Structure 1
Amino acid sequence: MTTAITQSRITVSTPERMRELGRVLATLVRAGDLVLLTGELGAGKTTLTRGLGEGLGVRGAVTSPTFVIARVHPSRSGGPPLVHVDAYRLGGGLEEMEDLDLDVTLPESVVVVEWGEGKVEELTEDRLHVVIERRLGAGPDAEEQAAAGEDDERVVTVTGVGPRWTDVDLSTLG
């Protein structure tokens, strides 16, 4: 069986735009969705998740769960809770994640896993994979961009994997 894949690429020039992307993404996700975030340290994974939480109307400040591994943010409006996981410190695959009970919370939550690639895909055949690439000092105008504070551009590639995402128009994210 071939896995359905849809994709969109978005250029993001500021942290506020990254949050806005998260807010728009919130209009596409629903309970049961798994979102994997991939990108180097400081790429904007937590900023995107903060915007997603704002769009979902969840309670509590969305901050990096690096040391607690996972945080649950209940909805203020009856929508799905946001489960925000940081798998950076977890070396293993799904076995090491089992203590988080993601398989139990996934059906009623939107689960976002930073650094989850290669660790949680087995939870569901349907997932949204978001890859954030930084473009620091790229191109002939790098020095001028840095001086103007414009050297923090990111390219965000959003890929929907599985039947859940087949009919979702990811181009609305751009």
Structure 2
Amino acid sequence: MTPTQHHYEAWCERDGRSWSVDIPELRIHTYGHTLVDAEEMARDAIAGVLDVPAGSVTVSLHVEEVEDQLAEARAARSARAQAAAREKEALAKAVAALRAAGASQRDAALLLGVSHLPDLGRRFGHRRLTARGPATATTDTGPGPRPHPSGSGRGREWTTWRVLTARVSTT
């Protein structure tokens, strides 16, 4: 049986050289020299008031003056994690479709802008590739700028990127 967890919100404010901490729900006030100290002091104070082990208490610290920026950073971090999961799924589908169409791993990596070829093999059960050296980003523009192959006249050079040199290893 797991012990009951107690979670409380604590509001912090800088007070000279230390942090003043209020836990309004329990009418507790404490302080700490750093936010780490403040969290520990708040957890110990809550545990003392509730007469429970300090390990069963969790505290979320809030700094009122910067709470909007902290919330925005947390939301951005969450969005990044969700986007990474969507990217991984989309890459898997694209690699499967490219392989079904007869593209090699190297071709799939080039089209998808992926520089880690060994990962494609492990993730999708194809031949294992091992990198010979560091990834290279070299351009091949020839004697001068060439128009974009789509003929769109976008004014950009058409650049061929060598993503990663790899060799097939047998295992």
Specify the TM-score bucket, using the shorter chain as the normaliser: under 0.3
Q: Determine which structure has greater relative contact order: mean sequence separation of CA pairs < 8 Å that are 6+ residues apart, divided by chain length.
A: 1
Query: Which has a greater percent of strand?
Result: 1
Whose Rg is larger? 2
TM-score (norm 1): 0.22
TM-score (norm 2): 0.23
Query: Which has a greater percent of helix?
Result: 2
